[in-house]
Chain A
Amino acid sequence: MSVAIRIQQVSKSFGAVQALDRVDLAIEPGEFFGLLGPNGAGKTTLISALAGLVRPDHGTLSVMGHDVQSDYRAARRQLGVVPQELVFDPFFTVRESLKIQSGYFGIRDNDAWIDEILENLGLTPKANANMRMLSGGMKRRVLVAQALVHRPPVIVLDEPTAGVDVELRQTLWAFIRRLNEAGHTIVLTTHYLEEAESLCSRIAMLQSGRVVALDTTANLLRRFSTHTLRLRCRGEMPADLALGAAQSGGWWSLPFDRYEDVEPLLARVREAGCSIDDLEIGKPDLEEVFIRVMQGEARGEGR
């Protein structure tokens, strides 16, 4: 058993909608893995299939070596899922919800661990509040806590920071990072690409149910994104530079690979008689990677 999550040739249709199309993924133990893609790409469906909430039409999935269908009890014990929807049980307090969730996983006397989760998520003051009384952000924290009651080695978070304030995002990521450092495998979907860029060591991009990019974050950035020298200047841009550059709102964006290339670029611009009013350096970012991967797919340049 060398992988935390193995997804093999998984397909799923809802009527005419092909939500997943022969998805293959293997995620190693201890990885911090990002699952990205536009709305409707199939991220939630893939997570649901992993959790046994959705039955794939084709293919197999396993968690820590346990098939999610044939060995579902073991698979589910290894997996903690934070669902995308902000769901809660209005009949119970925060602590009751967590104790009940522990019981579902067969765990009695979980109070010490529950206290620790509450503390780490800043929920201690709300422990005895009824779920109905909590703000959206607090409910989201409880959802995270519920996914962790059974100390799962694999934790999947489906857009945990959607519509959530900055403070919670920071608390949440600090905690999730610690769990990852302690050896937990983390899988994350998010719309905040800068979050994914700073957290995830490897990323898969999904579009229309297919994996269209899969690589380490560093490789993706190298492959699909560049540094750019952004200039606002008066005068004529040399023709060969203008050819490789983009222009918008009075700014030129000149791509370059290494910082050593900046000086010669600036020299060329100056020699051409341009006077520079303003200057910025743009670093490669996942936003650009994402847009280029998705556009490439739309033009059929993908696999």
Chain B
Amino acid sequence: MTELTLVEAVTRALAWEMNADPAVIVLGEDVGLNGGVFRATAGLQERFGTQRVIDTPLAETLIAGMSVGMAAEHLKPVAEIQFMGFIYPTIDHILSHAGRLRTRTRGRLTCPMVLRAAFGGGIHAPEHHSESTEALFAHIPGIRVVIPSSPARAYGLLLAAIRDPDPVVFLEPKRLYRMLKQPVADDGEALPLDVCFVLREGTDLTLVSWGAMIVETLAAADRLAAEGISAEVIDVATIAPLDIDSILESVARTGRCVIVHEAARNNGVGAEIAAELADKGLLSLLAPVARVTGYDTIMPLYQLENDYLPDTARIVAAARQTLEVT
């Protein structure tokens, strides 16, 4: 097994599937010779040619809309949006078309496309380059929203996303792109969509998170362990549709839950999880569900970025508060 960074794992998954399936087409701005602004598509054009790795003109509406057409016509487009800050014009196509095509045609036309984008803060990027707006997509019927939190999950989940017969928005936490390496088999094995991953088992409380915040959440679990507190850590991975059963099962054992996300709190995915816990898990809860999130402000420019992003201390504090309720 090779040690890969998250971004290298993305490249390997793309290469594997392009090799296995000639219907897979990669498209986006600067994805060819340049290999993408984060190098996620490095070497693919050289290997698979300019027909299968398309440098598009600078137009996100085009990238998403053209992908819908390709997908309806049995290609498997994997489109890259350089930064989530530039993804918003694609919503027209994701919401009005990709998510609806199967339903509208009663299955006659489908939309097996993947829209990849780098997202999230923590790398001191310029304005509009650091937001986490996954909740906008999680609200759209008919699409999946998948977020990996490690190289191995990036590899396995991206393969699953490409093979899935329906549209997937695949959001890559760019703070993790090169943060750590992990052995990845590169054997073409996909991981399942629509399920959470339990990253650490515990008995006293459940920490639920996804994406880059998994790093701080695992660190918080370590700190709590040093105080004799056993935290279970769940990586939601597919944030829509949500695998609430796994979270309910965990909270049924621990009775306490802290949800951690980088995105703003208001109407975030954490709110959906908390509502489901209130709905289906109320009787097993020993304390109110806590959320540690970004604030309901504009993501600040980088001088205040770390004041905005949840950190380990905030997670530990919320966990302690939750445990104080008896």
Q: Do A and B come from one complex?
A: no
Interface residues of A (CB under 8 A from B): none
Interface residues of B (CB under 8 A from A): none
